[in-house]
Amino acid sequence: MIEKYLPEVCKIQYGFPFDSAQFSTDEGMPLIRIRDVVRGYSETFSTEKYKEEYVVHQNDLLVGMDGEFNIAKWGKTPALLNQRVCRLIPFPEEIDKNYLFYFMPSALKRIEEKTPFVTVKHLSAKELNKIIVPLPPLDEQRRIAAVLDKVTDLIAQRRAQLDKLDLLVKSRFVEMFGDPACSTKWATKKLSQLGELNRGVSKHRPRNDPALLGGPYPLIQTGDVSNSGLYITEHSASYSELGLAQSRLWKAGTLCITIAANIAQTSILTFDSCFPDSVVGFIPGNETNAIFMHYWFGFFQKILEEQAPQVAQKNINLKILSGLDVIVPPFDLQNKFAQFVSYVNIVRKDITC
């Protein structure tokens, strides 16, 4: 079978460094940031003048180059190709677009797995250029892609069922507590007043020193948090005794909050684990529970726009998190909501089995 390097089968177009000072929440052209690649839409806009060559259209192939290395097809709304996102434009005489789309995840995963551990992993142009693509005849490429389309449709149907459950839980949250971005029904407290709130620790440099890794102490990273949903149930990295000595072991039940790449994604540890300073740990006190807080963070972007609009389009930090006002409904009401979530999760398991 013929094999070629990625730049021989498609044009790799890298995003433009649009000025963040001209970002907006409601004016201008939608702007694609890392967190927008997979979901296919953006809630960030830019009022900066742009060249037409940086406009992304429906079904264009995009790759996120920070954090998790994902490929996805863009949604319906035209948007601007921002830095740290690239577009793959297939050469039709070389490769079928859908074949390229299905091939790329495994290639990106291999790069991600061998990229040294840092706070946030970065995908380089050099690594993209080194990807080798197997090229059966075009008719065979199309046949392979068609089969995978059918499999993807089945997966999408199951995903739609799970999405309905997610919407059910979110609707129940609003029904019980109101919209946390604007509710005046409950007293509020600063997030830092409701429990321990601290960044993860990774003091040693370089962070990818082999002596730190491969021991018995779980190590979770930003991607583990953003991909896990409500609970983190597995990990792919671990610390040695030396790694633990320069970090901190957080207890099961800690709510993990990402502050880099996909900001404010949350998930709850089901085992004791370490994590780097790109993740913040929240250990609830006696006025709130982790499940309630996880779903409260589901409204985070809107909450941030209401309480701290000057930073809504930027990365967050511990100071910003600490100062956020959190509604504090009665603890027993929070627990009733958590019980409802547990019932929904039973249904979720039935769907995924």
pLDDT digits over 187-210, tens only? Answer: 999 999 999 999 999 988 888 888
Q: Are 184 and 101 in a shared domain? A: no
Q: Which two tokens stand for residue 161?
A: 């069922």
Average predicted confidence (pLDDT) for the chain: 91
Q: Are 347 and 299 in a shared domain? A: yes
Buried b or exposed e, range 283-298, using 16+ CB within 10 angstroms: ebeebbbbbbbbbbbb
- pTM, two decimals, is 0.66
Q: Are 301 and 241 in a shared domain? A: yes
Partnered with residue 30 across adjacent β-strands are: 45
Q: What are the DSSP calls for 112-153, one per residue?
A: HHHSPP-SS-B--HHHHHT-EEEE--HHHHHHHHHHHHHHHH
Order of strands across the sheet with 266-269?
195-199, 279-284, 255-258, 266-269, 231-232
Q: Are 60 and 166 in a shared domain? A: no
- Residue 115 covered by a domain: yes
| 3-40 pLDDT per residue, tens | 999 999 999 999 999 999 999 988 999 999 999 999 99
- Residue 142 covered by a domain: no
Q: In this model, does residue 351 exceed pLDDT 50? A: yes
Q: Are 91 and 199 in a shared domain? A: no
Q: In this model, does residue 313 exceed pLDDT 60? A: no
Q: What is the pLDDT of residue 312?
A: 45
Cα separation, 336 vs 316, whole angstroms: 31
| 243-288 pLDDT per residue, tens | 999 999 999 999 999 987 677 899 999 999 999 999 999 999 999 9
Q: How many domains does the chain have?
A: 2
pLDDT above 90 covers a percentage of the chain that reads 74
Backbone φ and ψ for 333, nearest 5 degrees, come out as: -70, -40
Domain extent for 126: 2-135
Cα separation, 347 vs 169, whole angstroms: 12
State which of 54-58, 182-186, 199-203 shows the largest mean pLDDT. Answer: 54-58
- Residue 141 covered by a domain: no
- Residue 269 covered by a domain: yes
Per DSSP bridges, beta strands 325-327 and 188-190 are antiparallel
Name the domain boundary from 117, 135, 153. Answer: 135
- Residue 274 covered by a domain: yes
- Residue 149 covered by a domain: no
Q: CA triplet 89, 145, 236: central angle to 5 degrees? A: 85
Q: Are 114 and 165 in a shared domain? A: no
Q: Are 177 and 324 in a shared domain? A: yes
Q: In this model, does residue 231 exceed pLDDT 60? A: yes
Q: Which of 1-5, 310-314, 348-352 has the lowest mean pLDDT?
A: 310-314
Q: Which of 59-63, 81-85, 197-201, 343-347 has the lowest mean pLDDT?
A: 343-347
Rounded average pLDDT over 204-230:
91
Q: Are 36 and 107 in a shared domain? A: yes
- Residue 219 covered by a domain: yes
CATH of the domain at 313: 3.90.220.20
- Residue 148 covered by a domain: no
Q: Are 165 and 86 in a shared domain? A: no
Cα separation, 24 vs 208, whole angstroms: 37
Cα separation, 213 vs 69, whole angstroms: 22
Q: Are 119 and 169 in a shared domain? A: no
Q: Are 175 and 268 in a shared domain? A: yes
Q: Are 120 and 210 in a shared domain? A: no
